[in-house]
């Protein structure tokens, strides 16, 4: 995303093509998680991981050399398929390779890197775009894939499970249709309108695909994902909590990067660097979380972490201002980073421990799917609230402009600031109004996020995993500690 402006110039890409280049990867990736995770359980997790690394590396080569926007889009779609082989399998390799007494700590390290990876990736991507050009964004993954391939060959055993029944092909297809449709709708809706044909197509595909998936899985002798397992409070609360916190995190990224760049005038690199305090807290706390379960229990730690996230969102809804600059958003960043660090590991453990050993690929895929879908929902929801709030707040200033300029000014802060710059000194008032309108829209979006987080806390209080042996003994014993009883 940080390279879209450069891509548009170099490849003569339209705005619609740019959106597909940005979103195509994130549609393919979660759509293939569940079937690929199940394939890893059957064919061998190491085999699927190595295949995914090769596919992702080749797609990155194609992207780096792409001479047209169409070729770049195709490369990104293939890269999404490769990443779908990598992400869930990395977690299932962890859960199937480590003994129970070490597993939760290993998951904590994995969760920390997975959570902070998006922030670090944004930072390094911005640095590359600013220094050597957008094509180098795809060179670094090639090198990382080569290193990962060599390490996987040497250190990872090819674990797999024996299954009596054949692979649930229909379930895999239906899950892919449902998830791809859902993510497509949440990508297209805020950008092009919820009544547009492509958005409606995504909604219909998601609803029909999900309904057919549930119907099929309830009747299949060896379902891809037994939906009855969601009656388990640990699985249900772990999944819902991850979805909510990732929705909040990705929604925050969307509005925060715009705030830093458009309102404060930061470069892409400086804006990405502004997110690093969140990663600095998220990573170590994810590793510490398994030990904290010993003192609090899974349910209490989830409630504590989600409450801190909610507090961070309240801070984000009240403190940021044009005059306060970066320091006005820093407390919110730190609180949300702390809360997510406490939540991610126990949520992931709750999911993986709720499915049997032969389904660890599916469990890991479910974990990753929840994260990706949560991110899409958060960007769509909070982004829509931000846009609506900005539009209503800037309406007064826009009404004083010529009719042909009112629409662009109300369309977004970037266009408003561009028009203000073209007006010279007379545009300073418009620029100030646009910045303040954006901050007001930010506050509204963060209040919505805070309300969602508070709802998540209430759900955990009422339906969170019980801190007793029947539901949490596996997760707690994996951290090498006795199960607490409440």
d(CA 294, CA 275): 30
Residue 15's pLDDT is 60
> Residue 363's closest CA among 354, 371, 372?
354
Report DSSP letters for 278-328, one per residue. HHHHHHHHHHHHHHHHHHH-HHHHHHHHHHHHHHHHHHHHHS--TTTGGGG
Residue 186, domain member (yes or no)? no
pTM above 0.85, yes or no: no
> Residue 384's closest CA among 189, 185, 201, 202?
189
d(CA 416, CA 438): 11
C-alpha distances (whole Å) from 406 to each of 28, 125, 384, 400 are 37, 34, 19, 8
Is residue 347 within 8 A of residue 24, CB to CB? The reply is no
Residue 485 has pLDDT above 60, yes or no: no
> Residue 73's closest CA among 106, 26, 112?
26
Residue 10, domain member (yes or no)? yes
When divided into structural domains, the chain yields a total of 1
Share of the chain above pLDDT 90, in %: 30
Residue 191, domain member (yes or no)? no
Is residue 339 within 8 A of residue 355, CB to CB? The reply is no
Residue 165 has pLDDT above 80, yes or no: no
Give the CATH number, domain containing residue 247: 1.20.1250.20
Q: Express each pLDDT in 404-427 by its tens digit.
A: 888 888 878 878 888 888 888 888
- Please give, one letter per residue, the 3-state secondary structure of 373-437: HHHHHHHHHHHHHHHHHHHHHHHHHHHCCCHHHHHHHHHCHHHHHHHHHHCHHHHHHHHHHHHHH
Residue 168, domain member (yes or no)? no
- 230 is written with which tokens? 């969601």
- 433 is written with which tokens? 């109004």
Residue 203, domain member (yes or no)? no
Residue 173, domain member (yes or no)? no
Angle CA(463)–CA(93)–CA(280) in degrees, nearest 5?
70
Residue 337, domain member (yes or no)? yes
Write the CB contacts of 14 (distance below 8 Å, at least 6 apart in sequence): 69
Write the CB contacts of 325 (distance below 8 Å, at least 6 apart in sequence): 264
Phi-psi region of 318 (alpha: psi -120 to 50; beta: other; left: phi over 0): alpha
Q: Express each pLDDT in 34-91 by its tens digit.
A: 898 888 888 888 899 999 999 999 999 999 999 898 999 999 999 999 999 998 888 8
Residue 230, domain member (yes or no)? yes
Residue 471's pLDDT is 43
3-state secondary structure of 478: helix
Residue 470 has pLDDT above 60, yes or no: no
Q: Which domain holds residue 86?
A: 4-157+224-478
Going by pLDDT thresholds of 50, 70 and 90, the confidence category of residue 192 is confident
């Amino acid at each position: 995303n940080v390279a879209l402006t450069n891509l548009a110039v170099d490849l003569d890409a339209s705005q619609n093509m740019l959106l597909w280049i940005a979103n195509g990867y994130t549609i393919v990736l979660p759509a293939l998680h569940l079937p690929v995770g199940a394939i890893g359980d059957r064919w061998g997790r190491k085999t699927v991981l190595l295949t995914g690394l090769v596919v992702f590396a080749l797609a990155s080569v194609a992207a780096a050399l792409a001479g047209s926007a169409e070729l770049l889009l195709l490369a990104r779609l293939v890269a999404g398929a490769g990443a779908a082989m990598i992400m869930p399998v990395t977690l299932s390799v962890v859960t199937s390779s480590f003994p129970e007494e070490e597993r939760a700590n290993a998951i904590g390290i994995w969760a920390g890197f997975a959570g902070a990876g998006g922030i670090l990736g944004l930072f390094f991507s911005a640095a590359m775009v600013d220094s050597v050009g957008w094509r180098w964004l795809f060179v670094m993954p090639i090198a990382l894939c080569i290193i990962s391939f060599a390490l996987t060959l040497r250190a990872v055993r090819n674990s797999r499970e024996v299954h009596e029944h054949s692979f649930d092909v229909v379930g895999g297809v239906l899950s892919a249709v449902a998830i791809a449709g859902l993510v497509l709708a949440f990508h297209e809706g805020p950008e092009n309108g919820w009544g547009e044909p492509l958005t409606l197509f995504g909604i219909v595909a998601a609803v029909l695909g999900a309904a057919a998936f549930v119907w099929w899985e309830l009747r299949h002798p060896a379902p891809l994902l037994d939906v009855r397992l969601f009656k388990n409070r640990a699985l249900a609360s772990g999944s819902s909590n991850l979805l909510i916190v990732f929705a909040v995190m990705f929604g925050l990224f969307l509005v925060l990067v715009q705030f830093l760049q458009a309102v404060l005038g930061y470069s892409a690199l400086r804006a990405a660097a502004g997110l690093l305090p969140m990663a600095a807290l998220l990573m170590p706390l994810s590793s510490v979380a398994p030990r904290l379960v010993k003192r609090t229990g899974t349910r209490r730690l989830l409630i504590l972490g989600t409450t801190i996230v909610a507090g961070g969102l309240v801070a984000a809804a009240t403190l940021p201002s044009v005059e306060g600059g970066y320091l006005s958003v820093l407390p919110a960043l730190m609180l949300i980073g702390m809360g997510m660090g406490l939540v991610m590991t126990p949520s992931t453990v709750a999911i993986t421990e709720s499915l049997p050993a032969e389904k660890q690929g599916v469990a890991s895929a479910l974990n990753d799917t929840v994260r990706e879908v949560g991110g899409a929902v958060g960007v769509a929801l909070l982004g829509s609230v931000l846009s609506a709030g900005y539009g209503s707040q800037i309406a007064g200033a826009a009404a004083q402009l010529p009719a042909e300029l009112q629409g662009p000014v109300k369309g977004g802060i970037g266009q408003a600031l561009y028009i203000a710059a073209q007006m010279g000194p007379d545009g300073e008032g418009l620029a100030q109004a646009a910045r303040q309108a954006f901050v007001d829209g930010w506050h509204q979006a963060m209040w919505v996020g805070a309300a969602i987080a508070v709802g998540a806390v209430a759900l955990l209080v009422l339906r969170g995993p019980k801190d007793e042996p029947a539901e949490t003994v596996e997760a707690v014993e994996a951290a090498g500690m006795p199960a607490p009883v409440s």
